[in-house]
Structure 1
Amino acid sequence: MPGKILITGGSGLIGMRLSEVLIDQGYEVAHLSRKPDKVSSYKTFKWDIKNDYIDENAISYADYIIHLAGANVAQEKWTDERKKEILSSRVDSTNLLYKCLQNVEHHVKGFISSSAIGIYGNSGDQIMSEESTYGDDFLAEVCKAWEASAWQMRELNLRTVIFRQGIVLSNKGGALAQIARPVRMMAGAPLGSGKQYMSWVHIDDICRLFIRAIEDTQFEGVYNAVAPHPVTNAEFTKKLASAMHKPLVLPKVPAFAINLMMGEMSEVVLAGQRVSANKVLQTGFTFEYNYLEEALESFYEEEL
């Protein structure tokens, strides 16, 4: 069954882990990269989104395309320039792939794209399913445009799957490293009210989910890619401190202080989404890490 998988955003957190897992399972993997000359253990094709260029060999290589590319949302302050970059890196890259798939001979059987649960906006403690109404803040607008660009693939009769990812937990970077830093320095505290929900997923589970979407053709359309048991920010912080064997000493970090530090980007940590995993579970997919404690232990028991 294994075939050739082309990954965009392959050098990112999920892309690197997913590439390893795919290779372990007998797939061939290639990356689409702006800098194909960078030393990489994967076959690499060049693309240049700003100049609308893609190496056509990349498209004719692939049996499946996994589209993870997009500027990091939490890396720097949201200036107008940065916000444009966050949006265009997702939408323009998808449009470029679409155009190329339209015009090049290929044997691509499916297109699997990232999106994010940010599409639901700040939804309080309401449980959000794939059919729930969307938010209207900046991240929700980005996700809507991103998904709309991915949906075009269906016009090409490609099986299209969109995963709305929760907070991806990994000990190699991403959100967990940022949340763990103050805890490690004995300065951990819930953020804002601490009541906002965090819908999370272990990086190995999200990789298994991408592979499942390649192999199982019943996958089509939009799925929430989150573990079945979201927690509040206060619970998350407490469980993280416990997994790291650190005390939680500070009271809550007030929302106004976070706003001062992060500006509009504070919506990433202050907005909450309590997202349902039911649709994925109904496909028969089983999560290796259903509960936050298990996920955190997988990262921190090695450190002890």
Structure 2
Amino acid sequence: MKILITGATGLVGKALTQLLLQNGIKVNYLTTSKSKIKYQPNYNGFYWNPESGIIDENCLIGVKAIIHLAGANIAQRWTSQYKEEIIESRVLSTNLLFNTLKNNPHHIKQFISASAIGIYPDSQKNYYTEDFTNFNDSFLSNVVVKWEDSVNQIERLNINVCKLRIGLVLSTKGGALPQILKPIKFGFGAPFGSGKQMQSWIHIHDLVAMFLFALQNDLSGIYNAVAPFPVTNQELTSEVAQIIDKPFFMPNIPRFVMKWYLGEMHTLLFESQNVSSQKITQAGFDFKYKTIHAALEDLLLGK
């Protein structure tokens, strides 16, 4: 089997590519950097530029499914210009894939796209399942709604579409965990705000395994890609401190401090989303890291 991946050189893309190759699945990948194009027996790169509408259609040859991960990193200061880039990097890349599939012969049967739990409103009371549709007008929610809308058009081509709404990805190679670790290592760890905001997280191992599961089981529809037991920010940060044996006694970090430091992006640290993983487990997916303790022990201690 051969699949096409976008965003293959990112945090999730690298881990997923490795897993696919280990499982005997050949990988074509799209990259905006010609210097990252490689030609290997089971791993081949192809150039694209979504902003300019350029794509090497040869990327589709022999491909049965597409896994779409491409999108600008949201963990950068949200200037007006960068906000546009966050949206356009997701929508334009999906539109280009749609038009390429529409206008070229291919054998694509399935399209699996990354999405995000940022679509759900900030709430310490709600428990979000995939059926929730009362989205608010926040920047992140709007990004994900536009992203998913662009993905939905793929269904018009009689292709099976699956969207994985990803939570806080835990990895030592990138994402939030290295940033959480920094102050704790120096004894300055503290929860953000009240510390009561719910963080729906997932170990990188389980996330890429879920993409493979969706591929192998031809899943369609929306699935939350989060572990079964979300935690509060207080629990997450104190658990990190405990596992690496560091003190954890500093006062909580006020919201206004992080707003001054990060701008609008500070909402990533303070918004609360308690998200259900029941639908994916009912589909038969088995998490290796169900609890935050097990996940952090593996990542930080290699246990």
| Structure 1 length-normalised TM | 0.96
Q: Which residue in the other structure is 2:25 paired with?
A: 27
Q: CA RMSD in A?
A: 1.2
- CA deviation after TM superposition for structure 1 residue 65, in Å: 0.5
1:206 aligned onto 2:204: no
Within a 5 Å distance, the mapping from 1:128-139 to structure 2 comes to 128-132=128-132, 133-139=134-140
Which of 4, 7, 14 is the aligned partner of 1:6? Answer: 4
1:215 aligned onto 2:206: no
Letter in 1 for 2:201: W
Structure 1 segments unaligned to the other structure (5+ residues) = none
Letter in 2 for 1:214: L
Within a 5 Å distance, the mapping from 1:134-283 to structure 2 comes to 134-217=135-218, 219-283=219-283
Structure 2 segments unaligned to the other structure (5+ residues) = none
- CA deviation after TM superposition for structure 1 residue 245, in Å: 1.4
For residues 189-228 of structure 1, the C-alpha deviation after alignment (integer angstroms, 9 at most, x for no partner) is 00011110000001111111101111102x1100100000
Q: Is the 8 A contact 2:37 2:46 kept in 1?
A: no
Q: Is the 8 A contact 2:37 2:44 kept in 1?
A: no
For residues 58-92 of structure 1, the C-alpha deviation after alignment (integer angstroms, 9 at most, x for no partner) is 12342110000000000x21100000000000010
- How many angstroms apart in 1 are the aligned matches of 2:102 and 2:245? 54
Q: Helix, strand or coil: the match of 2:21?
A: helix
Q: Is the 8 A contact 1:122 1:135 kept in 2?
A: no
- How many angstroms apart in 2 are the aligned matches of 1:277 and 1:255? 29
Letter in 1 for 2:147: W
Q: Which residue in the other structure is 1:86 paired with?
A: 86
- How many angstroms apart in 2 are the aligned matches of 1:165 and 1:262? 22
1:118 aligned onto 2:123: no
| Structure 2 length-normalised TM | 0.96
- CA deviation after TM superposition for structure 1 residue 30, in Å: 1.8
- How many angstroms apart in 1 are the aligned matches of 2:192 and 2:222? 30
- CA deviation after TM superposition for structure 1 residue 39, in Å: 6.2
Q: 1:88 to 1:51 in 2, by over 3 A?
A: same
- How many angstroms apart in 2 are the aligned matches of 1:85 and 1:281? 34
Q: Is the 8 A contact 1:197 1:274 kept in 2?
A: yes
- How many angstroms apart in 2 are the aligned matches of 1:143 and 1:38? 28
For residues 31-75 of structure 1, the C-alpha deviation after alignment (integer angstroms, 9 at most, x for no partner) is 10011322657310000011101100012342110000000000x
Q: Which residue in the other structure is 2:96 paired with?
A: 96
Q: Helix, strand or coil: the match of 1:134?
A: coil
| Identity percentage of aligned residues | 44
Letter in 2 for 1:237: T
Letter in 1 for 2:19: V
- CA deviation after TM superposition for structure 1 residue 184, in Å: 1.2
- CA deviation after TM superposition for structure 1 residue 28, in Å: 0.6
- How many angstroms apart in 2 are the aligned matches of 1:278 and 1:16? 27
Q: Helix, strand or coil: the match of 2:135?
A: coil
Q: Is the 8 A contact 1:6 1:32 kept in 2?
A: yes
- How many angstroms apart in 2 are the aligned matches of 1:88 and 1:50? 8
Name segments (4+ residues, structure 1) moved above 4 Å.
none
For residues 128-172 of structure 1, the C-alpha deviation after alignment (integer angstroms, 9 at most, x for no partner) is 011122232000000000000001111001010000000011111
- How many angstroms apart in 1 are the aligned matches of 2:245 and 2:4? 40
1:294 aligned onto 2:281: no
Letter in 1 for 2:103: N
Q: Is the 8 A contact 1:189 1:252 kept in 2?
A: yes
- How many angstroms apart in 1 are the aligned matches of 2:35 and 2:259? 40
- CA deviation after TM superposition for structure 1 residue 180, in Å: 1.1
Q: Is the 8 A contact 1:121 1:139 kept in 2?
A: no
- How many angstroms apart in 1 are the aligned matches of 2:203 and 2:164? 14
Task: Report how many residues are paired.
Answer: 299
